[in-house]
Amino acid sequence: MNDLALERRSLTAGYIAVEAEYGAKNYKPLDVVLTRGSGVHVWDVEGRRYLDCLSAYSAVNQGHCHPKILEAMVEQAGRLTLTSRAFRNDQLAPFYEELCALTNSHKVLPMNSGAEAVETALKVARKWGYEVKGVPDGQAEIIVCDGNFHGRTVAIVGFSTDPQSRGGFGPFAPGFKVVPFGDADALEAAIGPNTVAFLVEPIQGEAGVIIPPAGYLKRARELCTQHGVILILDEIQTGLGRTGKLLAEEHEGIEADLTLIGKALSGGFYPVSAVLSNSEVMSVLHPGEHGSTFGGNPLACAVARAALKVIVEEGLVENAAQVGARLKGSLEALAAPSVKEIRGRGLMIAVELHPDAGGARRVCEALQARGLLAKETHDHTIRIAPPLILTPEQADWIAEQFAGVL
Ligand SMILES: *Cc1c(COP(=O)(O)O)cnc(C)c1O
């Protein structure tokens, strides 16, 4: 190793040491310190280039530092960033209009993080339950799924089934019932007179890209309609092109009552989330009953408008479907003995290893050495979720790296 290489190596170690000294240890990242990104690639402080197969958990679907989103952000940042909703701003109306037209929604409630969108939906659903459905005060029940991931607030982790997410954080909010994911009969059995909503991910992301049986969401939609229950689809990870459809609900030809989006809504530039709704449900909210200082701010709206435009103009939804199918096919063709299953839809793919294959973390570290960044999900699953601008050649390159490591 020459002097320059040594110096750079110690640069990485230096950042990691300072993080360890001052930071809360609520993450266990790979030991790579990134400093720059462009398209599907990121560069570390030592000058090494990687293909990003995580895309910040699908927040960077448009690719890193997309020039059009950057331009919109810089332009808006120099003009007006925050008014609060005490006043109106000229970015909010066009954001609403464009988002509703694109997603076929009637109403929008803008928030910042995904968890805030989930919390908003839970509040709206409960209020709808009392005011429209006639549920007795304090009795509203919301059904959620085993293995869910909807964020990190106290209410949300309270209905998580992951001991790591919920352990030690109680007491929790009552009013949630957990059913197995993918089991429509269990959902039907769990619905009672006070059930106001069913909250579900169309594909469970953090659980390891778990795809429910065909017809499940359709049946859930029917059950919700039949029993007067609000269907809330959490599309914060699956939405905006990731699965090869703009929204994953389209795979089953259904429409949710409330749809939650976030992450890629800003192309990774800025936290922006939204609750999309039909008019009946959202109309239970009146002035003063819910809000957020930053929700719907002009900078967020300008960034989100540009981020949505890129998804449409660059055909990212179609590209995710095509390149995703190609990548999944190449991974399946590897027929690696250490692999238990490849599953996925669009560019949301998981490689599940056999439990005795040595663990997903080791594979991720080996991939890192080859210039590919992926993160393990639980002990034996590697998620592949590159930006949706991925080319067929880059997809083949990803499969080659997996071939080399597995
Ligand atoms: C990431 C995610 C969330 C939470 O979003 P944050 O912005 O991290 O609060 C909620 N639901 C799903 C399905 C997610 O993937």
3-state secondary structure 245-286: CCCHHHHHCCCCCEEEECHHHHCCCCCCEEEEECHHHHCCCC
Nearest atom in ligand 1 to 262's CA: 7
How far, in Å, is the centroid of ligand 1 from the Cα of 131? 28
62 or 4: which leads in pLDDT: 62
Domain residues for the domain of 361 are 32-62+315-405
pLDDT in tens, 173-202: 999 999 999 999 999 999 999 999 999 999
Residues 334 and 223 in one domain: no
Active-site choice (44, 52, 234, 257): 234
Mean pLDDT of the region 59-85? 98
Which residues does residue 275 pair with via DSSP β-bridges, in sequence order? 109, 260
Return the residue matching tokens 């000294």. Answer: 21
Domain boundary among 278, 313, 348: 313
pTM exceeding 0.75: yes
Helix orientation angle between 392-405 and 316-334, rounded to the nearest 10 degrees: 30
pLDDT for 306: 98
Average pLDDT, the chain: 96
CA 357 to chain centre: 28
Is 149 among the catalytic positions? Answer: yes
**Among 290-294, 358-362, 399-403, where is mean pLDDT lowest?**
358-362
Active-site choice (176, 263, 294, 328): 263
Cα(286)–Cα(245) distance, rounded to whole angstroms?
33
pLDDT for 6: 66
Residues 336 and 192 in one domain: no
Ligand 1 site, residue 268, Cβ cutoff 6 A: no
Is 356 among the catalytic positions? Answer: no
Whether residue 351 is contained in a domain is answered as yes
Nearest atom in ligand 1 to 263's CA: 7
Beta strands in 81-124 (DSSP E): 107-111
| CA-based R_g, the chain, Å | 22
Ligand 1 site, residue 204, Cβ cutoff 6 A: no
> Ligand 1: which residue has its CA nearest to atom 5?
114
pLDDT for 280: 86
Domain boundary among 286, 313, 340: 313
Asked if residue 1 has pLDDT above 70, the reply is no
pLDDT in tens, 3-45: 776 676 689 999 999 999 999 999 999 999 999 999 999 999 9
Asked if residue 328 has pLDDT above 70, the reply is yes
Distant-in-sequence, close-in-space partners of 187: CB < 8 Å, separation ≥ 6: 143, 179, 198, 219, 220, 223
Residues 332 and 297 in one domain: no
Residues 282 and 171 in one domain: yes
pLDDT for 393: 98
Give the H or E element holding residue 380.
none
Structure tokens at 93: 């109306």
